[in-house]
Structure 1
Amino acid sequence: MSEPSTWQRRIEGEWFGRPSLFDATGTWQGYEDIRRSSVFEDGVTTYYMDGGLEGGGPMAGRFRLGAPFAFGVVDSDASRLYTGPDFYGTGQPYGSFVDAHYYGPGWQVDLNTWNQVLTDRDTQVYSSVLFQGPAVVGCFNGLYTRDLAKVEGWLAEETRNGPVPYILPTKAAGAFSGECEVYGADQKPRGAVQVTIELEPLDLLRTRQRVTWSGALDRAYTVDARRDGFRSFYEGPDAWGNAQAFGRANYPSLHFADVWKLKGREFMLDATPGMGAGTELAVAYELFDGNVLGAVVHGVLRWSSS
């Protein structure tokens, strides 16, 4: 390939972050100090990751390594094929979002990584859910920047905010809303959808959510969401499912009354320690027609109280 793909051009340069490590229950364990770069040179793309694990608790032995990561990438706008030696697998871009599935021999885990580049082009919302077969082992997630002027303060904020649990407003009604991009399973743009998540707190642990999508996708549904620690449960009347949160990121799985279902990630960008919920929510949803991927939706929603 003589030219890098659109995604490769989107992520050029070096990115800095301090993603947090969580165990399968959502309990915070430590930090991964990482500098990442994906370099296209002489028609070949190589991905580099350098840093180290701080803390990790009982997971430290598995996720601490003695050398930086480096692995080849067969780069294209259709798929990014990871050719080892440190990761093997593939990732598919949907505009500014990539869904990647691959295996890391050093960590001995299967990974599902979601990378979402925001509209400022210098912020990346990152998560890797880690699997042993079908069982979740843990999760890395956090925010990355490539703006060198921000790095020092950015890493300090990630240190402070990384362990903060995901939570919705518990005493104020309002809505998260914004315009999101829609891509088909063929990775082609389908237009924009206005997404609104209206929240009506019922008590300190239960919230009625009225969700509407309008535009390239049209759907409206209501669910009662019940939070139990890092877990949530969606208990009808229009959809049923559950979610697991790892720090600031919530990972819902919903089944609608028709053949459609949803899996996603909702990352509270400005969550900080203290008694507050945050006001900016980066969302990425994959929608399935039965067991077949139908559409991918991603964007940023902002809070307004009613």
Structure 2
Amino acid sequence: MSEPSEWQRRIAGEWVGRPSLFDATGTWQGFEDIRRSSVFEDGVTTYYMDGGLTGGGPMAGRFKLGAPFAFGVTDSDLDRVYTGPDFFGTGQPYGSFVDAHYYGPGWQTDLNTWNQVLPDGETQVYSSALYQGPAMIGIFNGVYTRNPEKVEARLAQETRCGAVPYILPTKDTAVYGGTCELWGADQKPRGNVQITIELEPVNLLTTRHRVTWSGSLNRSYETVVRRDGFRSLYEGPDAWGNAIAYGRANYGTLHFTDVWKLRSREFMIDAEPGMGAGSTLAVVYELFEGGGLSAVAHGVLERRTGGVEA
């Protein structure tokens, strides 16, 4: 390939962040300082990652390495193949979001990485779920910037907020809404979808969710969500499932009352320490028809208080 792919152009430059490490239960363990860049030269793409782990608890030995990461990538907007030596596997871009599955010999883990570049073009929401066989052993997640003028502020915010748990409003009705890109499983754009999440708290631990998708995909459902620490349980009538939060990011699976299923990551970008909920959700939703991926939606939802018309 003589020119970089569209995804490669989206992520050009150096991205800086301080993602947090959580164990499988959702308990915060520490930070990983990372400077990540990818260089396209003479038709070859190489990724570079340098940084260090602070803390880590029982996982510190596993995720501490004695050298920076570097690995090759066969660049493509369809299948991006990671050719080692530090990571082997593949990733599929859907516009400004990539879903990657690969193996890291140094960490001895299988990884599923979701990387979402926000509409501002300079903010990236990142997560890597870490697996031993089918069992999750931990997860890294956080927010990166490639704007040198915002690096200091971003690192300070990640340090202050990395361990803050994901939580939605618990006393007042609220609405999160926005426009998301919709992509088919064939990685072709299908247009936009307007997503609205209406929240009606029942008590401090239970909230009724009314969710509406409209535009290039139309669907609405209601479910009662019960929170138990980092865990959430979705208890019908239109959708059933569960979720677990790793810091500001909530990862869920919903089963509808037909053939459809949804996997999600909802990341509360502006969650702060204290007794309150944030206002900006970076969301990724993968929709499955039966066992097969059908569509991917991703974007940003903003909060407004009160009812739907507020």
Shorter-chain TM-score range? over 0.9
Note if 1:290 corresponds to 2:294: no
**Amino acid corresponding to residue 74 of structure 1 in structure 2:** T
Aligned to 1:220: 220
The number of equivalent residue pairs is: 306
Separation in 1 of the partners of 2:167 and 2:73? Answer: 37
Aligned to 2:299: 299
Identity of aligned residues (%): 76
Aligned to 2:77: 77
Runs of 4+ in 1 over 4 A off after TM superposition: none
Aligned to 2:153: 153
* Aligned-residue RMSD, C-alpha: 0.4
Separation in 2 of the partners of 1:269 and 1:172? Answer: 20
Aligned pairs for 1:240-259 (under 5 A) are: 240-259=240-259
Structure 1 residue 218, shift from structure 2 partner: 0.4
Separation in 1 of the partners of 2:157 and 2:257? Answer: 41
**Amino acid corresponding to residue 172 of structure 2 in structure 1:** A
Separation in 2 of the partners of 1:21 and 1:127? Answer: 10
Note if 1:138 corresponds to 2:115: no
Aligned to 2:185: 185
Separation in 1 of the partners of 2:130 and 2:202? Answer: 34
Aligned to 2:102: 102
Structure 1 residue 26, shift from structure 2 partner: 0.2
**Amino acid corresponding to residue 94 of structure 1 in structure 2:** Y
**Amino acid corresponding to residue 32 of structure 2 in structure 1:** E
What TM-score do you get using the length of structure 1 for normalisation? 1.00
Aligned to 1:200: 200
Give structure 2 stretches of 5+ with no counterpart: none
Separation in 2 of the partners of 1:38 and 1:217? Answer: 34
Separation in 1 of the partners of 2:62 and 2:205? Answer: 35
1:60 is paired with a residue of what secondary structure? Answer: helix
Separation in 2 of the partners of 1:119 and 1:101? Answer: 24
Aligned to 1:64: 64
1:244 is paired with a residue of what secondary structure? Answer: strand
Separation in 1 of the partners of 2:22 and 2:151? Answer: 23
Separation in 1 of the partners of 2:70 and 2:172? Answer: 47
Separation in 2 of the partners of 1:261 and 1:270? Answer: 28
**Amino acid corresponding to residue 248 of structure 1 in structure 2:** R
Separation in 2 of the partners of 1:37 and 1:119? Answer: 19
Aligned to 2:14: 14
Separation in 1 of the partners of 2:153 and 2:88? Answer: 33
**Amino acid corresponding to residue 108 of structure 1 in structure 2:** Q
Aligned to 1:91: 91
What TM-score do you get using the length of structure 2 for normalisation? 0.98
1:202 is paired with a residue of what secondary structure? Answer: strand
**Amino acid corresponding to residue 231 of structure 1 in structure 2:** R
Note the alpha carbon deviations across 1:125-183, whole angstroms, 9 max, x for none: 00001111110100000000000001111101110011000001001101100000000
Separation in 2 of the partners of 1:278 and 1:172? Answer: 13
Aligned to 1:114: 114
Give structure 1 stretches of 5+ with no counterpart: none
